Structure 1
Amino acid sequence: MSAPDLREVSRTGLVTAALRAAETRRADRLYADPYAEHLAGRDGIALAGELQEFFARSGEVPRLTAFNAIRTRFFDDRLLASARAGVRQAVICASGMDTRAYRLPWPPGARVYELDYPEVLAAKHEALTGLGAAPRCDGHRLVGADLAAPGWGERLVEAGYAPGEPSVWILEGLLYYLDEPDVRTLLGRIAALTAPGATVAANVAAASTLRAPALQPMLRVFRDWGAPWVFGVDDPAALWREYGFAAEVVRPGEPGAHFGRWSEADATASLTVRLLFVDGTRSP
């Protein structure tokens, strides 16, 4: 069974899979994703190498790989903390090559909903089926959707999601690819689909990141791939509050977002200091 090809799956999703495969091979890995290498394929590994060439020139390669490992582990832990607290609905937006439904130890009754373009979900499902992989949660639903277009909320509910029940939402590696109006529309739709106490966790770029001279070569790589970074926010907690979520903001290297891999000093010196994690809870 061959890995999904580049015509069907976004470059960024394949790069993320390649980086997760590299992390899985480490003796001190922060998580294990046994499916990532297959999903990345030759294309994903080549693209990750292209991106790492930029970071090599800037001295950032260790921080690139560390950031992706920390980001994955941060959201893994957030999902499992919610699940262990009794939340039985997890929604992964723009899931790409994400395999959390297959690799995390979900408690009984957990339901995982993946939202992404239908062709992305189909390619991943075909590849994982070819490996004989099976979800580890009791309910796994793939919901084909363009998150910048209307209608996906209705399809999510049709797939079994219950808006009145507790839920946790993950927006990983998504928001900086959306225009600000689309980001705001997305957060508004999520707010309308969630009950008090729901969690919405995301990573965002500070607005200053998009203007930082040191990051322009990297941002050009993403533009050349057809995935430019267009959204940044310097005060994500204020943005979350507009939609009814009280949010904590943490940067890689700070307590709860380093996992022994990235120190505060590394974060201060790194280009990626301007990348932030947001963990919001829906107010009553």
Structure 2
Amino acid sequence: MSEPVRSTNDWMAAVRAAENRLSTPYLTDPWAQRLTGPEPERVLNLLREQHSPIDIVLVRGRFGDELLAEALDSGVRQIVSLAAGTDARGWRLDLGAATFYEIDLPGQLAGKHAALGTPRNRVLALDADLRTDWVPTLVQAGHRADEPTVWIIEGLFYYLSDDDADRLLGEVSAQSAPGSMLCLDIPDPALLSDPELREFLDYCIDRGSPFIGSNADPEGWLRAHGWQAEAYLPDQLDKCEWLPDVPKRLRTYHDVWHVAARR
């Protein structure tokens, strides 16, 4: 596992931990503080100075929580978080009888489980590279393609080529029975050429974690794989009727799509 990939998960935890310290956090995550890595305040200050779109972490987290709650209410009992990183949903949410499968690069999840201790839910940590044949690992752990699944894919498609992203979505779709749901975030192509983000994007290139993925029509992309999707840019989130109002302070990031899909 490369350090550039691993440390971006530290960033996400630092953002969630800072939000959790507010009196009225949009995303509540009391576990994040244990996962921030060294010098979280320095990291946050650096990212803000570079106009990094870090507020996406909080909005997509709440977006995913709301879709997950809908899925559980509908009877879905399988949850799969791809590139799970420091996602603490297995600890911070009540998932009832559902099984929460976490998949990430070898070595990524063991540290999180050691830091957070025994989860309140049934959480299975699986080591796999999503660019290779990861589905057998999931199936061997007990996942059933003939039962509905809710998929959480946060912060991954930034780093995948169009071909790799389409292949991954195809693999997810093949494992998704009717009644399944999916949430993801993916940049619009405009983000990759945004002059305000140039310093941050160059920083990501220099450290070995460049943003290369984007999609101009995520609803059409999901439709081609058999999903009915709704997609929102930050300034469109007020049209998402099931998402709690996003505070104005969290609408400052750039062109990233929040996508929810159902089948």
Distance between the aligned counterparts of 1:77 and 1:197, measured in 2? 16
**1:165 equivalent in alignment to 2:147:** yes
**1:31 equivalent in alignment to 2:20:** no
2:35–2:115 CA contact under 8 A, matched in 1: yes
Residue number among 120, 123, 126 corresponding to 1:140 in the alignment = 123
Q: TM-score, normalised by structure 1?
A: 0.84
- List 4+ stretches of structure 1 deviating above 6 A: none
Match of 1:3 in 2: none
Pair 1:178–1:7, CA change in 2 (3 A): closer
2:5–2:209 CA contact under 8 A, matched in 1: no
Match of 1:92 in 2: 81
Matched positions, count = 258
Amino acid at match of 1:30: Y
Q: Which runs of 5+ in 2 are unaligned?
A: none
**1:278 equivalent in alignment to 2:259:** yes
Distance between the aligned counterparts of 1:126 and 1:66, measured in 2? 27
Q: Which runs of 5+ in 1 are unaligned?
A: 1-5
CA deviations 1:201-245 (Å, max 9, x no partner) are 101100121122222112112222321100111101111112111
Match of 2:230 in 1: 248
Distance between the aligned counterparts of 1:42 and 1:204, measured in 2? 28
**1:262 equivalent in alignment to 2:248:** yes
- Of structures 1 and 2, the one with the larger relative CO (CA 8 A, separation 6+) is 2
Q: Report the aligned-residue RMSD.
A: 2.1
More divergent stretch after superposition (6-15 vs 26-35): 6-15
1:9–1:96 CA contact under 8 A, matched in 2: no
- Secondary structure in structure 2 of the residue aligned to 1:41: coil
Q: How does 1:227-242 map to 2 (within 5 A)?
A: 227-242=209-224
Distance between the aligned counterparts of 2:45 and 2:38, measured in 1? 11
